[in-house]
Structure 1
Amino acid sequence: MIVELSHRIADGMITYPGVPGPVLGVHLSREDSREVYAQGTEFHIGTITLAANTGTYLDTPHHRYADGPDLSQVPLSKLADLPGLVVEAGDGRAVGLDAFAGLDVRGRAVLVRTGWDRHFGAPAYFTGHPYLAPEAAAWLAGQGAALVGIDSLNIDDTPPRGERPAHTILLAAGIPIVEHLTGLSALPGSGFRFHAAPPMVAGMGTFPVRAYAVIP
């Protein structure tokens, strides 16, 4: 079974306050294509202008560090066909070490389920969201997690300006981050494979992904 874990990208949608929504357009309409192709043959070629942090997206180390691997340099082995683990956030905004007690996260895609995705597309999504506590991020890095994801606005607390400890710790350790996941309640605690590969864009640190899980 394949489980969808991504939000749909639509014209004008707002993923994060201050980040412009995507603009969808047309390079070649079906009507105009009739002048290019044989009779009865038509195509549509669309365009999209979007900020890289739109919808469900991946952060690579280059997002935080100028010399870190970018979208074209992070190997697929860090982004696809990873053994997955769902961690329940519990009560409170900060997801701390208690949520990970007794778990083996080495080499796994660790997906933190907060349930905050239920607010996606509404003003409530932008304030008071759950996030990963710095000590939990440090533990995940130390334990060798392969990737960390969350179904919330940000893996760090916002809107405070300044440090972003979870991003700083995880990306320094070469651990990609997936934010704005959805549908994690459809997954078992473990026993699935996680996929979240973006296009190979050189010089960029983030990009939307079609995140999904495969359950045997």
Structure 2
Amino acid sequence: MAHSHLGMVTDGRYIYVVTGQYGPQCRGPTARNFVLDTKTKQWQDLPPLPVPRYAPATQLWRGRLHVMGGSKENRHTPGLEHWSIAVKDGKALETEWRTEIPIPRGGPHRACVVFDDRLYVLGGQEGDFMAKPGSPIFKCSRRNEVVYDDVYMLDDDMTWKVLPPMPKPDSHIEFAWAIVNRSLVIVGGTTEKHPNTKKMTLVGEILQFQFDTQVLFLIFNNLMVFTLS
């Protein structure tokens, strides 16, 4: 099973763990997938993805486990692919993943949410650290990263719709959200590099996306903010 940069979603009992990085530093990804039954505490295998990905958007929607985007095998190149597989009670009902409509913009570290039978994907980035060429320990080497504010929605038409953008670019938010009433609340994340130090900047805001108006706005901006090397 992947150690980091995996996709994860739960229906309340079963936790689906999808693809991701196997090992420390910037090692390669695995295409293997698993499901944990939190009642019996037992793990089971799921069919592997056609190809592995880093940190793909992952969600359960209409009886299927959806996996989309993420970074390709080199950890840096954005992936556009979108696959799904039918699941029920922690078991795959199919032996192979089905190809779905590609996501308009690839990349990892996005929020992926289902509400009112619609699938939403918010934020994310293009690019990430890569293994330094020739490094025996796959030491991470920085590459250019572009954090974005894109918001997409998939509904009955099975066509990605572009919604109004986020108030600011935001990444690393795949597990930084919660649905409150009829809104999606996103806390923190990472955004553009600091203009002077060029270090990654952490988001100090709380954002709210209203599902009825499909508009995302700032509701709080006094969190402590740091920069990362």
**Structure with greater proportional strand content:** 2
The structure richer in helix per residue is 1
Structure of higher CA gyration radius: 1
Higher relative contact order (CA 8 A, sep 6+): 1
* Length-normalised TM-score, structure 1: 0.25
